[in-house]
Structure 1
Amino acid sequence: MGSGGSAGRGARLVAAEGPDGVEQRLEVRGRQVPDELWAQQGLRKLYLSDAGLREVPDELAELQHLRTLALDGNELMEVPEAVCDLPRLAHLYLGRNGLQGLPPSFAQLQSLRCLWIEGNFLAHFPRALLQLPELRSLQLGDNRLCRLPAALPRMAGLRGLWLYGNRFQEFPPVLLRMDHIRVLDLDRNRIASFPDLTGLASLRLLSYDHNPVRQPPCVGDEVQLVGDGAQEFMEARQERLQSLQCQEEEEEGTEAAPVSPEDGPEDGEGEFAVLTGSPEET
């Protein structure tokens, strides 16, 4: 069925995109993906979201060019083994299923850059993720995590980590060693206090809303905060930075004041002690 069709009663539409960039839409009836889909081995993107699937056939592994796969919003109780046999897969969406873990074979997805697995039943951080060097974005929100592995810094490529809606009682100390992380979301946990986070030099966004904290976390000046008291904190920080900037400008202006005739050279050379730039530039 080509693009632009409409699903009949009891059917759901799924989307696929081939190497030519043309999107197709196919009907899924009775939790079954049409066989014609698996014959399209050149597919690059496949969207099977909210299709009521309880399993995925082994034929999925034949789509060796697949780079994006969406299986979110289904009824999967475990990750289909065929998913782990897709070497080019870069974006994988498994949110809102019934997953309690990831198989060891998940570590075979060495090209994976983005994984969304929110809204499942993960009580432990999947160890297979520690073996994915290309992973940049990891969405683990709304699970049952209460701790993170000490080996987490091994994921040196990770830039965004979403941990909202879990069961953390305290700020995971291993995160203090994730100095490459840029986005960190810890909303809706049970964290009562945060350590000094100014050492996370790459951090640009920290979300800590709906935690029982009394004051915003201490972060670097480049970090945007989202949470209770964050607006007031950032306004005060901005005022402080502006005040410092004005003070520096005033000091520079004082240094650049004209030299008086009594103190300066008689021939008039160097009437301004400092013009602009560093001493090497003048």
Structure 2
Amino acid sequence: MTSPTTHIAFFGATGGCTNACLVHTLNAGLHATALARTPTKLVDMLHAQGITQDVIDAQLTIFKGDISDIHAIKDTLTNHDAGTTGAVTLASQIISGIGGTPQMQMSLRRPVTIDNPEICATATTNIIKALQEIYKAQPSTALHKPSITVISTTGVSDVKEDVPFAFRILYHVVLADPHKDKKEMERLVTENTGNGGAFRGAVIIRPSLLMGDQSVKEGQGWEKLRVGREDEPAVGYTVHRADVGQWIFEQVVKTGGEARFGQRITLTN
């Protein structure tokens, strides 16, 4: 279990999977920070999930900004001691569900793009840059680097096909642009984990086609998910966003995630 003196840093917390994970994190009594372009939107989403304002005030700090704002990212990653020492401690874990909004375009080869086709890679690059600046300014923080969990997708593996035959055109042709961004995000995470990297460990989550919203009451439960790894993926059609968020909480946030470091996890119903 994560120590109560640390916190979990959330990016993309208004997204379905990440918001569900944040709800479970707060319900467990853990402390968290979140970066949000519109903090009131995040608060309203949490209220709708049954999180009271007292819990938000006691356990969650929301920083206003977007993933291009290095200063806001650094604030989200750190916990400043209120004492006179000015000591800075880092989040123990980072949960990132940053993603773009799908958009149709007049192209037979690439009919679907996203509003920011490099958003996942940009977000990861900026989180890495923020951590590197923190390590440089306060070298002692590098002794306690955070882990990172990112939400990617099936259909990007170079090892083994993890998409049902009926969905392969959708994934490998229609969604080629957003999946290119996910692959770059995975590369950045992998190359910056371990000795000399920004992260002490990393978990990559590859859910099948996401359905539903963040409502934790609407999911079927994380224990019902089929779970695979890149060399032996769990192949399926869809998965509920709330179930993905709960799985991340139960298997990564709650445990520390060490047993999953280095894995690319496929999740499906």
Task: Report the TM-score range of the alignment, normalised by the length of the smaller protein.
Answer: under 0.3
- Structure number with the higher strand fraction is 2
**TM-score under structure 1 length normalisation:** 0.24
Look at both structures and tell me which one has the larger radius of gyration over its CA atoms: 1
Bigger relative contact order (CA 8 A; separation at least 6): 2
**TM-score under structure 2 length normalisation:** 0.25
